[in-house]
């Protein structure tokens, strides 16, 4: 019998440690990834744990209106007397979680449509390609504004409007990738072995596209955050939710820009910019790791060659 059974079972603690080490190595291997992960990690921590430290309702009106930053209110207050730091923390949480959810939904639908169309080819592919092309030519933001204006207000509407206008890009890139994988030997081998089609799609093809999908998630995440903030800034979001976009909306409505209440509109704007920059840095870093040609080679001088002495 196999000697594997006699071996002691792997200690889970060590396995977890190894995984952490691998991730740590990845993060520290490239300066762009390190900085990007730092920024994104900070925002994720705030999004997850920040709301736990806020005991007041940040939407509640108080009398302490239009205060500039002070020790009581680190980022000042709004025209309604709400603490901006508290709003920002809650808003970070909302924006990031809605953004992430929307991104994952976009990637999933795009992946399924791209992979299925390309793998089956023929009639299915024609239909799905036409459908995604239609969505590709419609200007995304305009359609999203129209959709968000007609649907009932709320975060779900904003998310849905962005979802509808974004999946086609993902579908197109994964379709191209699947087309090239489909004729590769290992897919042909799986088919000729008698593998079931859905397993070929999701266990043979999809794992090979995961790098593309994860790069897509990083990339789309920042696009989605910006798009959501845009729609909310235009007043198409839910007025009862606090997010980066709605904070900007209320700042605009209450003429914070004209009055010069910079502490109201700068923090959410800066958060959007920083978070987007962090994600972009990670994306650049991944590109460099995946393609060593983008890395600058530290070419060192060739060691001194021996002189011609004898013939």
Partner 1 sequence: MSDPILSVQHISIDYGFDEDATHAVTDVSFTLGRGEFLGLAGESGCGKSTLAYGIANILRNPANIVSGEILYYGKNTPPTNILALSGAALRAFRWNELAIVFQSAMNALNPVLSLRAQFRDIFTTHRPHMSRKDIDQRAVELLQMVGIAPDRLHSFPHELSGGMRQRAGIALALALNPDIIIMDEPTTALDVVAQREILSEMIRLRQNLQFSVIFITHDLSLLLELADNVAIMYAGRIVEYGDRRNLYTHARHPYSYGLLHSFPPLRGPAKKVFGIAGSPPDLRALPQGCAFHPRCPMAFAACQSALPILKTADPAFPAQQTACHLYDTALRATPPTEEDIAAAYAANSQRRGMRV
Partner 2 sequence: MKDVNTPILTVQGLQKYFPVGQFGLRRRYLRAVEDVSFSLYPGKVTALVGESGSGKTTVARVLARIYDPTSGKISLDGQDAGAIAPRAYRRKVQMIFQDPFSSLNPATSIAYTLSRPLVAHGHATFSNVHQFLPELLQRVSLTPAEQFLKKHPHELSGGQRQRVAIARALAVQPEILLADEPVSMLDVSIRLDILNLMTQLKEEEKLAILFITHDIASARYFAEETLVMYAGQMVEGGSSEEVTQQPKHPYTQLLLSAAPDPDRLADPAAEIPVLPARGEIPSLVNPPSGCRFHPRCPLAMDVCKERFPQRTNLENGHWVHCHHVQSAE
Interface contacts to partner 1, rule CB under 8 A: 297, 299-300, 302-303, 305-306, 308, 311
Closest CA to 271 of 104, 105, 85: 85
208 lies in the binding site for partner 2 (CB under 8 A) = yes
CA–CA gap between residue 89 and residue 52 (Å, rounded): 10
| Sign of the C-alpha dihedral computed for residues 164, 165, 167 and 172 taken in this order | positive
Q: How far is the CB of 162 from partner 1 (least distance, A)?
A: 43
Long-range contacts of 132-139 (CB under 8 A, 24+ apart): 132/167, 132/168, 132/171, 132/172, 132/175, 133/168, 134/168, 135/164, 135/165, 135/167, 135/168, 136/168, 136/169, 136/172, 138/165
With CB under 5 to 8 Å by kind, the binding choice for 311 among partner 2, partner 1, none is partner 1
CA–CA gap between residue 91 and residue 244 (Å, rounded): 5
With CB under 5 to 8 Å by kind, the binding choice for 11 among partner 1, partner 2, none is none
- What are residue 151's phi and psi, to 5 degrees? -80, 160
199 lies in the binding site for partner 2 (CB under 8 A) = yes
Q: How far is the CB of 188 from partner 2 (least distance, A)?
A: 6
Residue 11 or 311 with smaller CB distance to partner 1? 311
With CB under 5 to 8 Å by kind, the binding choice for 287 among partner 2, partner 1, none is none
Q: Specify the stretch interacting with partner 2 by CB under 8 A; choose among 105-113, 124-132, 189-197, 252-260.
A: 189-197
Residue 4 or 137 with smaller CB distance to partner 2? 4
What would the 3-class secondary structure string for 12-56 be? HHHHHHHHHHHHHHHHHCCHHHHHHHHHHHHHHHHHHHHHHHCCC
The DSSP code for 194 is T
Residue 137 or 308 with smaller CB distance to partner 1? 308
Per-residue x/- track, 142-181, partner 2 (CB under 8 A): ----------------------------------------
Residue 141 or 206 with smaller CB distance to partner 2? 206
Enter the tokens of residue 23: 């991730």
Q: In this chain, which of 176, 188, 239, 253 binds partner 2, going by CB under 8 A? A: 188
Residues sharing a CB contact under 8 Å with residue 33, sequence separation 6 or more, in sequence order? 26, 27, 281, 282, 285, 286, 289
Per-residue x/- track, 209-228, partner 2 (CB under 8 A): -x------------------
290 lies in the binding site for partner 2 (CB under 8 A) = no
With CB under 5 to 8 Å by kind, the binding choice for 63 among partner 1, partner 2, none is none
Q: How far is the CB of 215 from partner 1 (least distance, A)?
A: 26
């Amino acid at each position: 019998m196999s000697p594997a059974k006699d071996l002691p079972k792997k200690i889970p603690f060590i396995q977890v440690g190894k995984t952490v080490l691998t991730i740590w190595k990845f993060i520290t291997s490239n300066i762009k990834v390190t900085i990007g992960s730092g920024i994104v990690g900070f925002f994720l921590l705030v999004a997850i744990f920040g709301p736990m430290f806020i005991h007041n309702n940040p939407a509640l009106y108080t009398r302490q209106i239009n205060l500039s930053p002070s020790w009581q209110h680190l980022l000042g207050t709004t025209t309604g007397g709400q603490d901006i730091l508290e709003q920002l923390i809650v808003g970070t949480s909302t924006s990031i979680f809605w953004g992430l959810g929307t991104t994952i939904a976009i990637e999933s639908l795009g992946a399924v449509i791209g992979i299925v169309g390309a793998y089956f080819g023929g009639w299915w592919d024609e239909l799905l390609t036409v459908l995604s092309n239609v969505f590709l030519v419609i200007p995304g933001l305009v359609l999203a504004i129209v959709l968000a204006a007609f649907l009932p207000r709320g975060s779900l509407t904003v998310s849905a409007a962005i979802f509808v206008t974004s999946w086609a890009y993902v579908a197109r890139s994964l379709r191209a990738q699947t087309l090239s994988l489909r004729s590769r030997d290992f897919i042909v081998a799986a088919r000729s072995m008698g593998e079931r089609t859905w397993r070929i799609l999701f266990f043979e093809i999809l794992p090979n596209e995961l790098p593309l999908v994860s790069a897509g998630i990083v990339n789309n995440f920042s696009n989605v955050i910006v798009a959501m903030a845009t729609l909310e800034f235009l007043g198409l979001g839910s007025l009862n939710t606090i997010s980066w976009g709605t904070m900007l909306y209320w700042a605009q409505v209450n003429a914070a820009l004209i009055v010069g209440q910079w502490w109201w509109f700068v923090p959410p704007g800066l958060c959007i910019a920083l978070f987007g920059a962090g994600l972009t840095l990670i994306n650049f870093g991944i590109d460099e790791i995946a393609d060593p040609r983008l890395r600058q080679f530290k070419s060192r001088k060739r060691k001194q060659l021996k002189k011609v002495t004898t013939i």
